[in-house]
Amino acid sequence: MTARNTTAPRRQPLGRERIIDETWALAADRGLAAVTMRAVADRLGVTPMALYRHVGDKQGLLDGLVERLLGEIRLPDPDLPWPDRLAQLAQGIRAVARAHPDLFPLLFARSAITEPARRPREAAYSALREAGLDQTHVERAERMLSTFVLGFASSEAAGRFEHIDADAEFAYATDALRKVLVP
């Protein structure tokens, strides 16, 4: 509420990177609801209006969070056999959902086609190609797997699998799905 950074006014120049950094930090310690143009500006010791030049608008701020969220997904070790790579990627996505339960739903609204979603998707493609699928089947299998994994992770983050052995169930289901998609 009171002005911040009055003793240390603008060390670095403002810019998208620094704004998203602070947005991410704010979301991490106060939750998604606390992410407002005003609050982010406050943390940067700047007027809300100053942000508009760099991030467009509020949605631009959220896009920044989606980017970071996707960047947080640990990519699988490329030396592992392909089934392990798929499993590791899926676990990486679940881990992000658990670490950022309130941010995770943002992935459902705007994801997939955007650039930052490419790296995890390519990791899945690579594993599925190595499994022997041709390109059309690789793409379809990736869509079905990611749909299930995102759905599962969202459900988990929302507490839908509260009293259930989610680890066992997830392992079982992804294994079964994989067997169907990769005959």
Partner DNA sequence: ACCTGAACACCGTTCAAGT
Positions touching DNA (CB under 7 A) are 1, 10, 13-14, 35-39, 46-50, 52-54, 57-59
Tokens of 102: 């309130």
Q: For residues 52 and 125, which CB has a smaller minimum distance to DNA in the complex?
A: 52
113, 128, 130, 138: residue in contact with a second copy (rule CB under 8 A):
113
- Cα(102)–Cα(155) distance, integer angstroms: 12
- Cα(164)–Cα(174) distance, integer angstroms: 16
Q: Which does 32 bind (CB under 5 to 8 A by kind): DNA, a second copy, none?
A: none
Site for a second copy in 159-178 (CB under 8 A): 160-162, 164, 169, 172-173, 176-177
CA trace torsion 64, 76, 92, 74 (10° rounding)? -40
Q: Which does 148 bind (CB under 5 to 8 A by kind): DNA, a second copy, none?
A: a second copy
36, 88, 126, 154: residue in contact with a second copy (rule CB under 8 A):
154
Comparing CA positions, the residue from 113, 103, 31 lying closest to residue 73 is 103
- Cα(139)–Cα(25) distance, integer angstroms: 35
Q: For residues 47 and 135, which CB has a smaller minimum distance to DNA in the complex?
A: 47
Q: For residues 34 and 164, which CB has a smaller minimum distance to DNA in the complex?
A: 34
- Cα(85)–Cα(147) distance, integer angstroms: 17
Q: For residues 36 and 126, which CB has a smaller minimum distance to DNA in the complex?
A: 36
Tokens of 4: 């911040």
